[in-house]
Amino acid sequence: MDETLNGAEQVLIAAASAFARDTIAPDAPGWEHRRVMPEDRIRRAAEAGLTGLLVSREHGGHAVSMTAMARVMEELSKADMGYAFVLVVHNNLMGAISRAGSAAQVERYLGPMKTGETLGAFLLTEPAGGSDAAAITTRAERDGDGWVLNGAKAWITSAAQADLLSVYAQTDPSLGWRGIATFLVDADTPGIVRETPYETLGAHVMGTGGFRFEDCRIGAATMLMAPGDGFKAAMAGIDIARANVAAMCCGMMRSSLDTALAYVCGRKAFGQRLGDFQGLQWQLADVATDLHASRLMAYDAAAAIDAGQSAVEAAAHAKKFATRAALAGIAQCMQAMGADGFSHDYPLARHLACAKMAQYIDGTTEIQNVVLSRALLKPYE
């Protein structure tokens, strides 16, 4: 697969692999144990060249293909999917600013985001709604030349430390999704309340939490996408996000399978290696098959995006299958290792929590079934 990518993209993938091995993997257990989001983590990724992936070369970015981005995130997820997902969000916001931002926004934000000084977050989900993005209630009301924001956002990746917020708000409820606009708002703007990060099953490195907007006044120049364009842009990025999530699940499955294989081949019971028992061999062979299928689906979706083709169904299949396969496969790898698989001495417990998280982000498994069912039934309408 990597042979289809250009030389610069292959260098980035190698850098991501080395960064995952040398920087993320040693620290990830401590991050999770302390339930913290390390302050310097994006800066370190930036130093490794892992920011600006979707930014045009004109604006100083890498302008990689979707396939290359998914491969980068797969490599990072072998060490920690939570960390990788923070970089997905950060890179996606950089890409949006590069494509749709004003000259002033590009000048102000892309430089600090590329160096890791400024961490970006994507604020769409709300406390009373996630899957129905068109029904958001956060309001942006005209106030002279600017706007006033009121409302709340929930389940925001990097909420604990984000510096720049991409806020989706309704400008006119009577217009439905056509009234939704996107604003770039500095997190320290008066009227923004940063909520306490959530206590979750895992992935605390993501710093997931929420924000409240209480008569938050922002200027006209903060608008990134006009009413209607904001919602369309959010939906347009869904296929990209789903392909990336599928690829990240592949990274966790690969790490878990390698860990389990090394364990069962290095431990003996009843006079032979654990890996010589056919039951364990077949159990891990099933994981390998699901991993292979997941990778084919993930990169089929990425290839469709790169070709400018519709990837709606391919991305839905990939995310649905890979997240299910990861949750089951990581659990099987843990079982093969006995009680040791349950220990934080190995990465499988962190991977398992992230695999469950993957079934929620960028559209739940049930939403994928809605997408696929509509496609199945469409010829019969």
DSSP for 353-375? HHHHHHTTTTS-HHHHHHHHHHH
Q: What is the DSSP letter of 203?
A: -
Question: What is the CATH architecture assignment of 2-118?
Answer: Orthogonal Bundle (1.10)
Q: Domain coordinates of the chain in residue numbers?
A: 2-118, 122-227, 237-380
Structure tokens at 97: 């600013």
Q: Which residues pair with 141 in a beta bridge?
A: 148
- For position 307, what pLDDT does the model report? 94
122-227 belongs to which CATH class?
A: mainly beta
Structure tokens at 332: 């099987």
Is 16 in a helix, a strand, or coil?
Answer: helix
Is 198 in a helix, a strand, or coil?
Answer: coil
Map tokens 């839905």 to a residue: 316
DSSP track, 117-165: SS-EEEE--BTTBSS-GGG---EEEEETTEEEEEEEEEEETTTTT-SEE
Q: What does each of the 381 residues of the chain score in pLDDT, given as a tens digit?
A: 678 899 999 999 999 999 999 999 999 999 898 888 777 778 999 999 999 999 999 999 999 999 999 999 999 999 999 999 999 999 999 999 999 999 999 999 999 999 999 999 999 999 987 777 778 999 999 999 999 999 999 999 999 999 999 999 999 999 999 999 999 999 999 999 999 999 999 999 999 999 999 999 999 999 999 998 988 888 888 889 999 999 999 999 999 999 999 999 999 889 899 998 999 999 999 999 999 999 999 999 999 999 999 999 999 999 999 999 999 999 999 999 999 999 999 999 999 999 999 999 988 899 999 999 999 999 998
- For position 40, what pLDDT does the model report? 77
Phi/psi of residue 54, nearest 5 degrees: -105, 10
Q: Are 302 and 66 in contact (CB under 8 A)?
A: yes
Is 188 in a helix, a strand, or coil?
Answer: coil
Q: Which residues pair with 185 in a beta bridge?
A: 165
Q: Which residues pair with 192 in a beta bridge?
A: 213
Considering just the CA atoms, what is the radius of gyration of the chain in Å?
21
CA trace torsion 272, 334, 302, 96 (10° rounding): -140
- For position 138, what pLDDT does the model report? 96
All residues at 6 or more sequence positions from 312 whose CB lies less than 8 Å from its CB, including other chains: 239, 371, 375
Show contacts of 12-17: CB within 8 Å, 24+ apart: 12/49, 12/50, 12/53, 12/62, 12/64, 12/68, 12/72, 13/68, 13/71, 13/72, 13/75, 15/48, 15/49, 15/50, 16/48, 16/50, 16/71, 16/72, 16/73, 16/75, 16/76, 17/75, 17/78
- For position 4, what pLDDT does the model report? 85
> Residue 304 belongs to what H/E stretch?
helix 278-306
Alpha-carbon distances of 178 from 85, 182, 195, 213, 293, rounded to whole Å: 28, 12, 29, 21, 38
Map tokens 């806020």 to a residue: 167
- For position 187, what pLDDT does the model report? 97
- For position 349, what pLDDT does the model report? 95
Phi/psi of residue 81, nearest 5 degrees: -70, -35
Give the β-pairing of 146-156 and 209-218.
antiparallel
Question: What is the CATH architecture assignment of 237-380?
Answer: Up-down Bundle (1.20)
Structure tokens at 279: 């039951």
Map tokens 């004109």 to a residue: 58
Q: Are 327 and 86 in contact (CB under 8 A)?
A: no
Structure tokens at 213: 């907007």
- For position 23, what pLDDT does the model report? 93
- For position 38, what pLDDT does the model report? 76
Structure tokens at 48: 């490794």
Phi/psi of residue 331, nearest 5 degrees: -65, -40
